[in-house]
Amino acid sequence: METKRVEEYERGEEEEEDEEQMEEWDDWQSEEEEESSSRCLCLFCGSRFGSAEILFDHCRSEHSFDFHHVVRELGLDFYGSFKLINYVRSQVAENKCWCCGLTLQCSRDLQNHLHPASNFEKDGKFFWEDDLYLKPYMVDDPLLHSFAGDEDEEEDPPAVDAEMMSELMTSEELPKLCNDGQSMINGDSPMSDIFKETGNAEASLDSMDKISQGMVTNGMILDRKQKDKQLRLSLANVDARKIKNVNEKYFGSYGSFGIHREMLSDKVRTDAYRGALLNNPSLINGATVLDVGCGTGILSLFAAQGGASKVISVEASSKMAAVATQIARDNGLLSEDSMKGEEQHPGIINVVQCMVEELDKYIYIPPNSVDVLVSEWMGYCLLYESMLSSVLYARDRWLKPDGAILPDTATLFAAGFGRGGTSIPFWENVYGFNMSCISKEVMEDASCVPIVDAIDSRDIMTESEVIHSFDLATMKIDEMDFTAIFELKLRTDPANKATSRTCPCYGIVLWFDTDFTNRFCKEMPTILSTSPYTPRTHWSQTILTFREPITMTSSDAFVSSTAAVGTEESPAVRIRSRISIARSSEHRSIDISLEISSISSDDRKHSWPVQIFSL
């Protein structure tokens, strides 16, 4: 059962779906091109340029980075060049030299250090070989939309994703890839069949391949080089458009006051942040605070109340940014920077409406100048919504080397749950009627989809295990994806009846703690826990249900050597689990894979096929 927060998000998706289908591709692309023409950010400093060519000239003369020379020398194709740009941005964000790997103390030291590259490879592969660099490092990076326009040589047409091509071929952009595109669409040319194959991605791809290689059909010759460039740009725009749409839906969902009431009413959550910001004067007094994803601005208000000298509140939702501004104004805390020419107040909170990755476009904050970075970034199962990457981006760009990040650690836990943690008991007695025939189908569905719900601590039947810990002060973005191996054993608490008998384990429940440790909160460290053993929060827990229950026992008594381990005849003494959690290809979602094996007292083992959950 999903909580209101997910329901609001999904409802927002449904309401906007029709509007999305009515969007004009040309209008969107023209807006993107306008942005691209004036906001290309240098790869190494804060300078911006009107075109990619001017930017690359600047990089060559000021930062010893000759993009075109590298591309020509290494024979990079479009995607190789695309990855190179994202790689360089990722290294610069960490104050690392892109070619020698040396880490400098600050961005100024890095710019002084930059030198012509003498090597581009490690272990026989380019530094940027990893496909993770196909993902734009900077959201809506205009340079990624314009750099290919300056290429002069391309040997091979790009490999085209079928799903992207299908979307392209149903848009109004595709006809522009052909000289006589309009006649094709209208069916005036034999080539029009290509554009009628949108329901068959493979046929469309094959046809497009023929076009891109400049084949002659009824006397029509296409300029392959020019069309390939346009095709690649269109593909990049499709991917960026998908991310942009997801972001708009995501931030739009936070325009619902119901979601904010639910979060503000969560005393465990709100009191933890309030305590950290109000009860640690050595940290907050006189500090410059950056609040990422401020919502109503409650954390910014706490920071101001705690003695901060300046608070920069970043909120991507236009509606909530306006609300946060009004709340700060009503409480006499809005700074003159937010007033835009209106009557000025001596407040300290400056609300900026944008994604934090685009903050430089709206306000200048000197690099490494923020004392405290605070954010309530956690989603279900800790990592759902993928907002952590935005927090780490802000940390690397603006937090002082000795600055504080709140919270500064996060830990994921797991435990096994029993029958009471499922819906089986409900269906066995519905107003006095037995509806248990429904249980089987419900359990099958639950084995494919994670359930966000509160589980009673009395239904936890195993010891809890730490599956992963994050140090927010030092971790890298790619550490958000991880794999952990752990074992579950029945609880040893004598008060728990499950330890004195054989009982089935129906799945694994996940929860998290985030800590405001004494590393930064010297006077009063605190913990925000979403454990089933503590008061309930709006995050609840995340439930992963096995395909079939595994019978467990704490006894080493004789068991059948012929029965499968995990059955009543041969119960398991422990369950070995391997769990992987990674960011999904669907922006802001996560994928969870779970592999389980039951192990008997005589060390026999029975394994189940991997289960995949998407959240």
How far apart are the C-alpha atoms of 536 and 437, rounded to whole Å? 31
Considering only CA atoms, which of 372, 369, 376 is closest in space to residue 293?
A: 376
User: Three-state SS across 277-325?
Assistant: HHCCHHHHCCCEEEEECCCCCHHHHHHHHCCCCEEEEEECCHHHHHHHH
Question: Which residues carry out catalysis?
Answer: 376, 385
Q: In 3-state terms, the chain is what percent helix, strand and coil (to 5)?
A: 40, 20, 40
- Under CATH, domain 409-614 is a member of which superfamily? Hnrnp arginine n-methyltransferase1 (2.70.160.11)
**Residues 85-112, mean pLDDT to the nearest whole number:** 89
- Evaluate if residue 151 carries a pLDDT over 90: no
How far apart are the C-alpha atoms of 247 and 244, rounded to whole Å? 5
- Evaluate if residue 388 carries a pLDDT over 60: yes
> Which has the higher per-residue pLDDT, 392 or 24?
392
Query: Would you state the pLDDT for residue 139?
Result: 77
Record the pTM: 0.60
Query: Would you state the pLDDT for residue 556?
Result: 67
Say which DSSP state 569 is in: S
**Residues 521-548, mean pLDDT to the nearest whole number:** 95
> Which has the higher per-residue pLDDT, 238 or 422?
422
H or E element: which one contains 80?
helix 78-93
- Evaluate if residue 171 carries a pLDDT over 90: no
> Which has the higher per-residue pLDDT, 111 or 331?
331
Computed on alpha carbons and rounded to an integer, the radius of gyration of the chain in Å comes to 28
Query: Would you state the pLDDT for residue 90?
Result: 92
- Evaluate if residue 211 carries a pLDDT over 80: no
Query: Would you state the pLDDT for residue 173?
Result: 44
Q: What does each C-alpha distance from 579 to 218, 290, 599 come to in angstroms? A: 57, 34, 17
How far apart are the C-alpha atoms of 92 and 286, rounded to whole Å? 30
**Residues 411-427, mean pLDDT to the nearest whole number:** 92
Which residues partner with 223 through β-bridges? Answer: none
Q: What does each C-alpha distance from 370 to 274, 353, 376, 394, 405 come to in angstroms? A: 20, 19, 17, 10, 10
Query: Would you state the pLDDT for residue 119?
Result: 83
- Evaluate if residue 360 carries a pLDDT over 50: yes
Residues 455, 532 contacting (CB under 8 angstroms) = yes
Which residues partner with 516 through β-bridges? Answer: 526
Band (pLDDT 50/70/90 cuts) for residue 531 is very high
How far apart are the C-alpha atoms of 498 and 118, rounded to whole Å? 64
CATH architecture of 259-337+346-376: 3-Layer(aba) Sandwich (3.40)
Amino acid at 523: E
Q: Which residues contact 87 (CB under 8 A, 6 or more apart)?
A: 98, 127, 128, 133
Paired sense of beta strands 541-552 and 526-529, if any: unpaired
Band (pLDDT 50/70/90 cuts) for residue 583 is confident
Residues 456, 542 contacting (CB under 8 angstroms) = no
- Over the chain, what is the mean pLDDT? 78
> Which has the higher per-residue pLDDT, 64 or 145?
64
Q: Which residues contact 253 (CB under 8 A, 6 or more apart)?
A: 8, 9, 12, 259
**Residues 34-61, mean pLDDT to the nearest whole number:** 80
Could you tell me the two tokens for 603?
């060390």
Query: Would you state the pLDDT for residue 601?
Result: 86
Amino acid at 476: K
276-326 pLDDT, tens per residue?
999 999 999 999 999 999 999 999 999 999 999 999 999 998 889 999 999
- The residue to which tokens 């950056």 are assigned: 290
φ, ψ (nearest 5 deg) of residue 604: -75, 155
The alpha carbon of residue 209 and the mean position of all alpha carbons in its chain are separated, in whole angstroms, by 33
What residue ranges do the domains of the chain occupy?
40-145, 259-337+346-376, 409-614
